[in-house]
Amino acid sequence: MKQIRLGLVGAGVVGSNLLNLLDKKKAEIERLHQIQLQMHAIATRTPSKIAGLTKLSIGTDPLAVANDPNVDILIELMGGTTSALEVVQTALKNGKSVITANKALLSDYGDQIFQLAEEKGKFIGFEAAVAGSIPIIRSLRNGLAACDFEVVCGILNGTTNFILTKMEEENWDYEIALKKAQELGFAEADPTFDVEGIDAAHKISLLASLAFRNKISFRQLSVEGISKLKYIDITACKSLGYRIKLLGIAKKYENGILAKVHPTLIPLKHPLANVMNESNAVFYKSQEADAGMMTGKGAGGTPTASAVLSDIIYYGSKISEGSTKIERNFFPPAQVPTPENNRVRYYLRFSTIDRPGVLSEIARILGKNNISIASVQQKESESEPVNVIVVTHEAKEGDFQKSIQEIDDLKSLIKEKTVAIRLLEHL
């Protein structure tokens, strides 16, 4: 039975859960997969936190693990990009395969890492980097390898999904829901990475690159978060038959692949609309397999550790078999169309003064820019601002952006910046 020696760098919540899983499932893995997984070296900033989980001497220098000649697979759970990049590159140069849960690292520096891995003939496993316990990476690579995708999209951040769920269920505004998420440990003290869509953007860039076999850079994405949303948006959209979700979307057009992250109105009958709390989901549609969706826990110590361990078993088995067939992760750059001509529908909430003629001026500007109105709601208010809600017909993205800017510049009529949310595109 082949022994696969592991080196772990970073032993926080996910790392400690991984050590527990390795110990719990050791005998089962040996019986089912005919490999012996042996933790050989660990480095973490706080060795005392995992002292009871291993008999190994725990170090604090991750490069020592990356340079250890007795390690076959390095498991990178440090987070961040600067130190993690150095550690991963060092491990690859030293002939080790790498498993990581670090979506920011791969999104920002994937080209360098994947190219180096191919040059060295080593594996990179990153199932845990996107959507936690949902096995979407291997599904795109293997189970759906024959498919030509039209769209891949999903709820890829549990923090924002939890916040939006509580805003609806508890009648809370954004600030209250965020505070609750922080109290429960779903959101960081500085939640920017999650609530402004950055985390989801890193993930959809990875999914899109695999699905479309072309490199989609994080820097090519347009990204919007949920921090401008209010409870009135949740209730107004629900009354219209929609639920708001933060989606990462990658869609194929004739002139390229457009990827983006933004709040989206999803029809209540669509399966994505009913993924609640901290759960994640990935929806896809292809020419051959039509539509499908996978759901599950997108974060958390045990779900993420289970995805890491699955990669360890998968790539450990390949190493044991002596496989030299390296999966392709390094793709040519995608052609990315500008979104200005993309046709979309919008929910628009205008915060206006209480004066006759405001709605007609809004309608005039929209009409001037080739945007027609499908419905209008005006919420009664005893004080300003007054909320005017407009749902539009389909028009060009560029015309919407031009109209919104022009309307927001009406300082004598508009009290706050317009909240603009796209309706679900044809998926």
Assigned token pair, 40: 């050989």
- CA 27 centroid distance within chain: 34
Q: Is 10 annotated as a binding residue?
A: yes
User: CATH 3.30.360.10 spans which residues of the chain?
Assistant: 136-297
203 catalytic per annotation: yes
User: CATH 3.30.70.260 spans which residues of the chain?
Assistant: 342-423
Q: Is 188 annotated as a binding residue?
A: yes
User: CATH 3.40.50.720 spans which residues of the chain?
Assistant: 2-132+301-321
C-alpha 164/C-alpha 232 separation (Å) is 12
**Sequential pLDDT tens for the chain (427 residues):** 899 999 999 988 899 999 999 999 999 999 999 999 999 999 999 888 888 788 888 889 999 999 999 999 999 999 888 899 999 999 999 999 999 999 999 988 988 999 999 999 999 999 999 988 899 999 998 889 899 999 999 999 999 999 999 999 999 999 999 999 999 888 888 999 999 999 999 999 999 999 999 998 888 899 999 999 999 999 999 999 999 999 999 999 988 999 999 999 999 999 999 999 999 999 999 989 899 999 998 878 888 999 999 999 999 999 999 887 888 777 888 888 888 888 999 999 999 998 888 999 999 999 999 999 999 988 776 678 889 999 999 999 999 999 999 999 999 899 999 999 999 866 6
Q: Are 369 and 404 in contact (CB under 8 A)?
A: no
pLDDT of residue 427: 65
The architecture of the domain spanning 136-297 is 2-Layer Sandwich (3.30)
C-alpha 378/C-alpha 357 separation (Å) is 13
Q: Is 139 annotated as a binding residue?
A: no
CA distances from 208 to 286, 301, 326 (A): 13, 25, 20
pLDDT of residue 354: 87
Q: Is 11 annotated as a binding residue?
A: yes
Q: Choose, from 96, 122, 166, 203, the residue flagged as catalytic.
A: 203
Q: Is 14 annotated as a binding residue?
A: yes
Global pTM reads 0.91
Contacts of 313 (CB under 8 A, 6+ apart): 29, 33, 35, 37
CA angle 250, 256, 258 (to 5 degrees): 30
C-alpha 196/C-alpha 224 separation (Å) is 6
For the chain, the C-alpha Rg in angstroms (whole number) is: 24
Whether domain 2-132+301-321 has CATH 3.40.50.720: yes
Q: At 424, phi and psi to the nearest 5? A: -55, 125
Q: Is 143 annotated as a binding residue?
A: no
Domain 342-423 top-level CATH class: alpha beta
pLDDT of residue 160: 96
Q: Are 280 and 132 in contact (CB under 8 A)?
A: yes
Q: Is 15 annotated as a binding residue?
A: yes
Contacts of 171 (CB under 8 A, 6+ apart): 231
Contacts of 47 (CB under 8 A, 6+ apart): 58, 59, 60
Q: Is 327 annotated as a binding residue?
A: no
CA angle 51, 52, 58 (to 5 degrees): 25
Q: Is 417 annotated as a binding residue?
A: no
Q: Is 340 annotated as a binding residue?
A: no
